[in-house]
Structures are given as C-alpha cells and as structure tokens.
Structure 1
Amino acid sequence: MSWEEISKENQEKKEFIKSYILTHFGESVEDEMLAMSDALKAFYKLKGLHFGSEKETFILPDI
C-alpha cells in the first residue's frame, strides 16, 4: 500500500469517526474513549472486519 493510499484511507477514517461520534454521541461527548472505540469498531465493520466480544475488541484511539 502506498503512502498516498494510506493517507487517503486515514482521512476517510477520520471523517467517518467525526461523523459517527457527532451522530451517535452528539457534540458533548461524556466518554471520549468509548465514543472513539465505538466509532473505530463501526468503521472497521464497514470495511468488512468483524470482531468478537466487547472485552476482546475495545479499540483505543491513536492519540
């Protein structure tokens, strides 16, 4: 995968996460880690990746 493709996918992921959080959690997010985790899980599911139980799949955001 080229840097251009990685950059494009990264931008797509950022836009999806921003939109997902705004839609599902509103502008005032109480638990940012949970919101980011849910958004990342939804993004990867959209890309065809499926995860197991919630305990196994809590995804921490890159800070």
Structure 2
Amino acid sequence: MSWEEVSKESHEKNDFIKTYISTHFGEFVENEILAMSDALKAFYRFKGFHFESEEETFILPDSSLKR
C-alpha cells in the first residue's frame, strides 16, 4: 500500500469518526473513550470487518482526533 493510499484511508477514517461521534454523541461527549471505541467499531463494520468479542478486538482511539 502506498503512502498516498494510507493517507487517504486515514483521512477517510478520521472523517467518519468525527461525523459518527457528532451524530451519535453530540457536541459535548461525556465519555470520549466510549465514543471513539463505538465510532471505530462502526467504521470497521462499514468497511466489512466483523469482530467477535470486544476483549479480543479493543481498538485504542487516535488521540489526534480530540477536539
């Protein structure tokens, strides 16, 4: 995968996450970790990935997405 493709995918993921959090959690997010985790899970489901238990697939949020 080229750097251009990686950059494009990263921007797509970040845009999706920001929109998801804004839509589902509003402007003031009480639990940022939960919001980021839900958004990442939704993004990967959107991309066609399926996760089993949360213990095996916990995704740490990207700290650069904080407002």
Distance across 2 between alignment mates of 1:38 and 1:45? 11
1:52: Cα distance to partner? 1.0
Runs of 4+ in 1 over 6 A off after TM superposition: none
Aligned-partner residue type, residue 9 of structure 2: E
Distance across 1 between alignment mates of 2:2 and 2:17? 22
Aligned length: 63
**Which stretch of structure 1 is more off in the superposition, 13-22 or 46-55?**
46-55
RMSD, matched Cα: 1.0
Identity %: 75
Give me the TM-score of the superposition, normalised by structure 1. 0.91
Give me the TM-score of the superposition, normalised by structure 2. 0.86
Which residue of structure 1 lines up, in the alignment, with residue 9 of structure 2? 9
| Unaligned 5+ runs, structure 2 | none
Alignment of 1:1-63 (within 5 A): 1-63=1-63
Aligned-partner residue type, residue 62 of structure 2: D
Distance across 2 between alignment mates of 1:25 and 1:57? 22
